[in-house]
Amino acid sequence: MNQAPAYSIFSSGDAALTIDFGNVIDVSLNEKVMTLFTALQKQPLPGMIEAVPAYSSLTLFYDVAAIKKKAGKEALAYDWIKEQLQKLLVNTAEANETSSRFLQIPVCYEAAFAPGINELANAKGLPIEEIISLHASKKYRVYMLGFLPGFAYMGDVDERISMPRKTQPENVVAGSVGIAGKQTGIYPLASPGGWCIIGRTPLRLFDPEGEGESLFKAGDTVQFISITQNEFESYQRGHS
């Protein structure tokens, strides 16, 4: 018989609950989250509105009235949906059904697009060329989307280039690639932010005027490809 992994479930409001596998950044835990998320996408629980995956947890939003119609007026919607989720978790305990894509993202690391790369180089005592090599040589997992529409939290960066968040947010240009702790990510829209910016991609990651689709999805694998400023500008001209 399958055994569900260790977890806790708690209320996240009047019509939501969260299942938490441990408050850490861990690939195996994120895979459990994504397996559960994939199962819910394929076969939503009765009364479910939306499931939102994070690093090591998943939040499920539900329709209280729809659940009471299904389970009975005397039933507590939270208890009922929790029981259904626990059953699903047992049934998927040994599954590994996640959809993952491999994406290569062009990034220009030149000074005009990397206002924080000198700060990182000085803090770590590394030449800029090595910082670029370390950042672009790894393949990163998209653990979750959040903060801004289409903002992908990816990890883990090489410890030699990890960098704490800034204490004061600064204005960040759309497409900026940054590092914060063990994470790396790309700002899909212009926004205040506290990540150390080491480059910029010419790709448009989120189109608020279109269908609202993000380039990234949780579970994707991403690798950055270093490009020159001329290549960056050529790409922009070709897609303007």
Predicted local distance difference test score (pLDDT) of residue 3 = 54
Q: Locate tokens 């690391």: which residue?
A: 109
Predicted local distance difference test score (pLDDT) of residue 1 = 44
pLDDT tens digit string along 50-72? Answer: 999 999 999 999 999 999 998 88
Predicted local distance difference test score (pLDDT) of residue 99 = 64
Kindly give the parts of the chain with pLDDT less than 50: 1
pLDDT tens digit string along 28-41? Answer: 899 999 999 999 99
Q: What b/e string do you get for 43-65 counting C-beta neighbours within 10 Å, with b at 16 or more?
A: eebebbeebbbbbbbbbbbbbee
Q: What b/e string do you get for 87-118 counting C-beta neighbours within 10 Å, with b at 16 or more?
A: ebbeebeeeeebeeeebebbbbbbeebbbbbe
pTM of the model: 0.82
Helix (H) or strand (E) holding 186: strand 183-186
Predicted local distance difference test score (pLDDT) of residue 23 = 82
